[in-house]
Structures are given as structure tokens and as C-alpha cells.
Amino acid sequence: MSWLNKLPWGLLIIGSLFLGLAPFVPEPHLFEKVRMLFDGSLHKPIDIFDLFLHGTLPLLLSLKILYSIIIK
């Protein structure tokens, strides 16, 4: 997982905050799409793409945090 170590912390943190929480009003897409996933109503391709788009950076940040805790 050396590719994960090459990703800069700042990029992941700022990207996670902005893209993970966009749009800020009325509800972030990531929260809405995760709720739809658990409700079983995530069927449209645009909704699946939105979940992937808004969730990738927070997922990578979470993996980097876990990886740095476990390895170090």
C-alpha cells in the first residue's frame, strides 16, 4: 500500500471536507447517499456515481489513518 503513503495528508483532508460535505445546504450528498444505501433506495446510476464521487476521498483518508495507526 505504498501508493497510499504517497497521497499527501493535506489534499486528503481538504478534499474530504469540501467534496465529502458538498453541497453544504440542505444536506451533504454523501450523507444522503449513504442513507439511501442503507434504506435500499440507491438504484439510479447517478446516485451510485454521486456516492462514489463524494465518498472516495473520505474513504481514502480513513484508509490512510487506519494504515498509519496499524503500521506505526
- Number of residues assigned to the chain: 72
Q: What is the pLDDT of residues 50-60, one digit of tens each?
A: 899 899 999 99
- 61-66 CB contacts, 8 Å cutoff, 24+ apart: 61/12, 61/13, 61/15, 61/16, 63/4, 64/4, 64/5, 64/7, 64/9, 64/12
Q: What is the pTM of this model?
A: 0.82
* Residue 47 in grid coordinates: 446516485
| Cell 489534499 found at | 11
Query: Higher-confidence residue: 31 or 1?
Result: 31
| Cell 493535506 found at | 10
Q: Is 40 left (phi over 0), alpha (psi -120 to 50) or beta?
A: left
Query: Higher-confidence residue: 2 or 63?
Result: 63
- Residue 72 has a pLDDT of 66
Q: What is the mean pLDDT of residues 25-36?
A: 87
